[in-house]
Structure formats: C-alpha cells, structure tokens
C-alpha cells in the first residue's frame, strides 16, 4: 500500500510517498539516490531498522516502512544494492551497517556527506547535517522528530516530514562539498574512505565498533 502526501518540509512543499513493506516495482530513480534510514535506536545489537528514505534529487521523497513480518522488501533491496547507482548518505557508517544486518545487502557504491564534510570543512567541528546544510545551502533543517518512536505502526506527518528532509538536501550538499574536496586536493582520499565504509560497517557489526584497529595500543 502507498500513500501520497503533500507535506511542508523545511519550509518547502514536498510530495512524499509512504510505501508499506517494500518499494513498488514501478518506482524508478534518475541518477544518484540520496538514502537515509530510521531505527528504534542507535544500537547495532538491539535496535531494528524501521524506515528507509530515498530521493533522486527531483523534489520527491520515497519512504519505505519496513514490516517485522511478511515478504522481504526485494524491490528496495535491489534499488539499494544496484552497483551502477551511487547512494548518497550522511553518516553512512550507521545506515550501511543496519542495511547489511537487516536487509542482507551492501548499498554500494557509497558517498557520505559527513565524511566529505570532515575532509573538506576542516575549519569547523560542526559536521552534523543540520549545520552543514545551514552553512553550505542556507537552509534550516528541523531535527525535532529525531528522537521519536520510529517503530510505530502509524507515523505522524511530522515524522514523515523529518524523514523526507534527511534525503532532500543531500544532492545539493554533495555538489558543494565536491567543489571544496577538489580545490583542496582531497577527492581521492575521500573516495578511498567511501570505498572502505562497508568494511567499517562489517567491523562494527562484528564487535569492533569502539576499537581503533589502526591504533598502536
């Protein structure tokens, strides 16, 4: 089942599609896909993946609410695992680990705007999505619904607007960050970090989440 909603997201009117259980087979994307996810919490051991958000930058957002029981979300898994389509995340490490664990796929190739921000915006320590979007795009992002019950059967319009917001800025943010990365000669090292993310997520899932395996001690 799919619901089509017109919501106000960060001051803009946006069309949001909420799909139950899986992405419909007829939904297609053009170019790279911005991806985010919501879970019951931040524990890779305890908390389940509940929602996956996607946008190709065209002003619409597709949200897939995952079921605890029922058929596997095969269309969603195919879209996320497509090796020909770039997936843009913010803090990909967590989302990728959750998708590897709960969906059994690696959503590569990957671009992470948080890693890109840390490599490009070395003049600040504020690399959250809200701060990066505010500085680089001049847009205000609300984080009011960040801590809410994402496992509820019925999500509120406020939750859906928040979830959509997290993918609607990523294409523009990537474009801005790419300019700085290229200017400062850091594009290659950024790509190497993006390529390593599935391995970093696998280490997290295997119990090395807090351990720096590259450290001397």
- What tens digit of pLDDT does each residue of 132-173 get? 999 999 999 877 667 799 999 999 999 999 999 999 999 999
List the chain domain ranges. 2-208
- Class (C level, CATH) for 2-208: alpha beta
Is 0.85 surpassed by the pTM of this model?
yes
Q: How far apart are CA 32 and CA 86, in angstroms?
A: 5
């Amino acid at each position: 089942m799919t619901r089509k909603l017109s919501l106000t997201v960060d001051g803009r009117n946006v069309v949001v599609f909420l799909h139950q259980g899986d992405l419909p087979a007829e939904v297609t994307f053009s170019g790279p896909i911005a991806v985010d996810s919501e879970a019951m919490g931040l524990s890779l051991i305890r908390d389940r993946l509940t929602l996956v958000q996607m946008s190709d930058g065209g002003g619409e957002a597709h949200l897939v609410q995952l079921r605890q029981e029922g058929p596997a979300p095969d269309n969603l898994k195919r879209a996320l695992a497509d090796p020909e389509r770039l997936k843009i995340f913010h803090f990909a490490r967590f989302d990728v680990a959750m998708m590897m664990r709960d969906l059994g796929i690696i959503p590569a190739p990957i671009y992470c705007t948080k890693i890109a921000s840390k490599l490009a915006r070395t003049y600040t320590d504020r690399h959250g999505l809200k701060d990066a979007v505010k500085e680089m795009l001049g847009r205000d992002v609300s984080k009011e619904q960040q801590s809410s019950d994402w496992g509820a059967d019925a999500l509120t319009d406020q939750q859906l607007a928040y979830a959509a917001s997290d993918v609607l800025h990523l294409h523009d943010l990537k474009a801005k960050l790419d300019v700085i990365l290229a200017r400062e000669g850091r594009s290659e090292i950024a790509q190497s970090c993006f390529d390593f993310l599935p391995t970093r997520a696998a280490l997290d899932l295997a119990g090395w989440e807090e351990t720096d395996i590259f450290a001397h001690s």
